[in-house]
Amino acid sequence: MKAFQAETLNSLADYREVDLPMPEPRDGEIRIAVKACGVGYVDALIALGKYQVKPQMPFIPGIETAGVVDALGPGVSNVKLGDRVIAVGNGSGGFAEYAVVPAIMCVKMPDALGFAEGAALRVNYSTALHGLEDRGAIKPGEKLLVFGAAGGVGIAAVQIGKILGAEVIAAASTEEKRAFAKAHGADHVIDTNPEGWRDRLKALCGTVDVILDPVCGPLFEAAFRSLSWRGRHLVVGFVGGEGRIAALPSNLTIMKGSALIGVDIRQYLLREMPAYLAMLARLMTMIEQGRLAPVAGRSFSFAEAPQALEYALTGKGLGKTVLTIP
């Protein structure tokens, strides 16, 4: 099979198309003929060895796959040959024609869901639902501020926030990104120019109850100061924080009775897998009922795999970048 693989993590230019033996599923595993693979900021960090979890070498990127079940290992009963599935796995990576993943981490795709949208779904939409509902305890009618609202996690939070009954304010850096968030359900949009930003937010909606923040950039403290009483600031990542989460005076949490809350979907999956799988089933039901339509972003061909990783690092994408595989 063909795959994109690197022997070192020094540069994205180290990734090359290679021919590898067909991977075989073991007990509890399945093999997927990959049709699409999600490509996020974290995927690019892992590919460069800059994430907290270091991959084994040689390395094939891609943990979010959508495709067709091609082979079953012993003991697999939740899917069958020919099923259209989405999966998260850490065996053979998704930047390949075939990938072997744990069967427990696979779910059947609703008929209405395309492979590109399926590859964009798993991490981003589960992060949004887990963050807003489990960690943020958001209630209908509350005001939700979403940073990076046009990115993969951001647009998922805009959509999930609306499903949960929130009034959604989407923060994004360009007019194009704000229009994208508005088109996918945001009630209000706001720019991210720090000068006078709190005043603009106050004029737009007053205070906010919940913040979902995958950026943690220059507006981190200003946003926290804009929380209402008992507000919750959900930290999903820190792509705007120069490799670390921005500092925050601890007295602010006391004055507002507010909370700074971490959201880590990987740890949730590892520590609370039954709850995670139940949440994933809810997402599938939302799609089947027509309440949720996951958004796929720019698509790259298999030959453009390194470029897809480079693009994911830029922060310019609208929605989740996807690698398509013939």
Residue 285, domain member (yes or no): no
The answer on 188 and 130 residing in a single domain is yes
Residue 275, domain member (yes or no): no
Residue 274, domain member (yes or no): no
What confidence tens digit (pLDDT) does each residue in 82-107 have?
Answer: 999 999 765 458 999 999 999 998 99
The answer on 257 and 147 residing in a single domain is yes
What confidence tens digit (pLDDT) does each residue in 222-276 have?
Answer: 999 999 999 999 999 766 555 455 666 666 666 678 899 999 998 999 899 999 9
Residue 273, domain member (yes or no): no
Name the residue range of residue 234's domain. 124-266
The answer on 97 and 147 residing in a single domain is no
Q: Amino acid identity of 79?
A: V
The structure's pTM equals 0.92
Query: Looking at 6-20, 234-248, 307-321, which range is the least confident one?
Result: 234-248
What confidence tens digit (pLDDT) does each residue in 22-43 have?
Answer: 999 999 999 999 999 999 988 9
Residue 175 main-chain phi, psi, to 5 deg: -60, -40
Within 10 angstroms of residue 94's Cβ, the number of other Cβ atoms is 30
The answer on 221 and 92 residing in a single domain is no
Residue 153, domain member (yes or no): yes
Number of domains in the chain: 2
The answer on 247 and 128 residing in a single domain is yes
Residue 313, domain member (yes or no): yes
The answer on 252 and 202 residing in a single domain is yes
What confidence tens digit (pLDDT) does each residue in 206-219 have?
Answer: 999 999 999 988 99
Residue 282, domain member (yes or no): no
Residue 119, domain member (yes or no): no
Q: The domain that contains 230 carries what CATH number?
A: 3.40.50.720
For residue 103 the two structure tokens come to 């069967």
SS3 content of the chain, % helix, strand, coil (to 5): 35, 25, 40
The answer on 128 and 261 residing in a single domain is yes
The answer on 128 and 109 residing in a single domain is no
Cα-based distances in Å from 128 to 25, 56, 71, 181 = 31, 29, 32, 15
The answer on 246 and 153 residing in a single domain is yes
